[in-house]
Structures are given as C-alpha cells and as structure tokens.
Amino acid sequence: MPVLAPAAESDASVRPQAMEELEHTCPQPRLTLTAPAPFADETSCQCQAPHEKLTIAQARLGTPADRPVRVYADGIFDLFHSGHARALMQAKTLFPNSYLLVGVCSDDLTHKFKGFTVMNETERYEALRHCRYVDEVIRDAPWTLTPEFLEKHKIDFVAHDDIPYSSAGSDDVYKHIKEAGMFVPTQRTEGISTSDIITRIVRDYDVYARRNLQRGYTAKQLNVSFINEKKYRFQNQVDKMKEKVKNVEEKSKEFVYKVEEKSHDLIQKWEEKSREFIGNFLELFGPDGAWKQMFQERSGRMLQAFSPRHSPNSSPTRGRSPSRSPSPPWVFNKASPPSSPKAASASLSSMSEGDEDEK
C-alpha cells in the first residue's frame, strides 16, 4: 500500500506525491512484433498500485492505458499449431485493453499428469514466445492455479475452453476459478489438436519412416529394425521406378497431344487450301467459268476471220440480171470440173475474155 504524507503537511504538497506512487507500473502490451515475448522472470510485475478487482463487464468497457487487463492462459502447447494460436488470439482479444500472460508447464509436470511430449519444455517455451498474441511467457507454470500464483502475477482473468478439464484427482482443475468469477471461456478449433497430429504420425508411420530414411536418417535414429530398413529402402526404389514410369507416360501423352494438335492444324489448313483450289478451278473451268468465255470469244474471232465480209448496203449495184448473180471468176462449176489442165486454162482464158467484153 502507498505511504501517505503526514496530515500536518498541506494537501497541495501531498497530492502529487500520492498520485505518482499510485500510478500503475505494470508491463504494457507489446507494440512491436520484431522481438519475441519476454519471460515472466525477466520482467515481473512490480506494480506498487493496488490491484483492484475487476468484473468482466468493467473489463469489457475498457480500462486506462496504464492499467491493462491481465489475462492468463495456460497449457502444454506441444506441437504448437493453429488451434493453439486461435485460442491465444481469443484470449488476447477478450477485452479492449489486455495483457496476455501464457503459462507453460514443464516436462516433469507434464509427463507426470498427462504423458510424454514430442517437444521438450525449451522448445515449447520458445514456440510461445514467437506467437504474436503473447505478451509474456511464464515458464514452469503450476498444474493447478493457486491464490498465491494469481496474486504474484496480478492475474485478473483466466482464459480457457469451457470443457471440464479433469486431472490431478479433480473433475475440473478450473472449478475454483469459475466459482471466483475469474474464468472467461474460449472456443476450441475443431479438426486440429496435438492428439490428432500424433495420431496421423502413428497411422502413417511407415510413410514417415521411409521418407526420413530417404533423407539421410539412419535406422538406429528412427528405431527401425534391419528387416524393416531393407523393406523400406526397397519400397523407396519401387516408388522411384513408378515415378519414372509416370513421368514417361505423362511426357508421351504430352507428345501425342502435340502431334494430334499439329495434325489437326494441318488437316484444317489442307481443307482450307483444297476448298480454295476447287473454287479457283470451278471459277476457271466451270460452266460459267472464265475459260469458256475466253474460248467463245476466240471462236467468234476465228469464225469472223474465215467468213467473207458483206458489201455495204449503200454500194452501187452493177448491171446484172436480178434473177442470177454472177459467180466470182475463181469459183469453178461443181457439176463439171475441168478434166485436164489444158481445159482449165482454156476456161480461165474465156472468163478473162468475157470480163473484157463487159468492160
């Protein structure tokens, strides 16, 4: 308790000294996450101000910055996992201004009341120190919370799941904490626990033993017999062969897929080119194609070249009988062809004489 000044002194000189003595000097919540949480024996609460009892309603309304609500959570925390972290997150966020202390039981106490652990106490302490929600770690925490322990660490509330925890000859080790109104429940995370993780390891023991043998651990380190070691190594070789076969199959499938894809593209291009070729062929040689039109034009020109030209209508007509048009002098009579060259020459001379007479 603070020592007050004598009554003879004035109130003005007493009040500042009393207020300074009554200020809380409890450790404040961590503001940075660049360093691990300290241990309790390194930064114990030496606050000289009276640690007034708080109700849950008062704590939820918020407390002064220099008076955080001191929440305590304890456990074994073996194989620290997300279920542990979520429980500590709930304990940290129960109140607006809280300071979370986490108690971790030692190996001797844990092996006595619960059983053998995978991680030793030093590893479990360090795991808690590096959790972002933890402000302080209490090593070698008691199995059952005593009033002396609660007073020493100035604990306001204890956070734990509400399932009765029977141990050390008690149906619920938190029963007296609940009766004192200092217990605040948290929710368990379903599907994850230390026992679940150990069960998986035991169930898949062969798989993990083979994996560690493959990574360089000896059979002695894994407590594996000579026969089992040979069996595991043989299974590892078989698995490697299966993996190689699987890789070859996958590469073969990939190659076939690429060939099919390329062949599909080639067929598609060939179809496009064939359609283009057929269209060009029909356009050139079809019923109405360019070749037919060109052929017709050339045929017309040839016929026009071989056929005689007609005289124009306005040309003067010669004095000939209208009933019979004279034949050209070079046209021979089809009925009586000349019998000999002499006869042919005689006919030509007579035709020339006839022309002279006409002139």
All domains in the chain, ordered by first residue: 56-191 (3.40.50.620), 195-292 (no CATH)
- Record the tokens describing residue 226, joined without a space: 């000579």
Q: pLDDT tens digits, residue range 92-134?
A: 999 999 999 999 999 999 999 999 999 999 999 999 999 999 9
Residue 187 in contact with residue 161, Cβ under 8 Å? yes
DSSP string for 166-202 = -BTTBS-TTHHHHHTT-EEEE---TT--HHHHHHHHH
In three-state secondary structure terms, 15 is helix
In this predicted structure, what is the pLDDT of residue 49? 62
Contacts of 161 (CB under 8 A, 6+ apart): 87, 185, 186, 187, 188
Q: What is the distance of C-alpha 241 from the center of its chain? A: 30
Distance, CA of 194 to CA of 85 (rounded, Å) = 13
Where does residue 315 fall: left (phi above 0), alpha (psi -120 to 50 degrees), or beta otherwise?
A: beta
Q: Provide the pLDDT confidence category of residue 57 given band limits of 50, 70 and 90.
A: very high
Top-ranked range on mean pLDDT: pick from 6-10, 122-126, 253-257, 297-301: 122-126
Distance, CA of 233 to CA of 24 (rounded, Å) = 64
Mean pLDDT check: name the lowest of 20-24, 37-41, 121-125.
20-24
Element (H, E) at 220: helix 219-222
pTM of the model: 0.60
Q: What order of strands is seen across the sheet that includes strand 136-139?
A: 136-139, 98-104, 69-75, 157-161, 183-186
How do the residues of the chain divide into helix, strand and coil, expressed in percent and rounded to 5? 50, 10, 45
Distance, CA of 302 to CA of 248 (rounded, Å) = 73
Residue 155 in contact with residue 100, Cβ under 8 Å? no
- Record the tokens describing residue 220, joined without a space: 């002695």
Q: Please, what's the b/e burial string for 104-131 (b: 16 or more CB within 10 A of its CB; e: otherwise)?
A: bbbbebbeeeeeebebebeebbebbbeb
Mean pLDDT check: name the lowest of 7-21, 50-64, 150-164, 262-276.
7-21
In three-state secondary structure terms, 173 is coil
In this predicted structure, what is the pLDDT of residue 233? 86
Q: pLDDT tens digits, residue range 275-319?
A: 888 877 777 776 776 767 777 777 777 777 776 666 555 555 554
In this predicted structure, what is the pLDDT of residue 7? 37
Contacts of 187 (CB under 8 A, 6+ apart): 87, 90, 161
Give the orientation angle of helix 226-285 with respect to helix 290-306, to 10 degrees: 30
> Quick count: other Cβ atoms within 10 Å of Cβ 61?
11
Where do we find the tokens 């599907």? 191
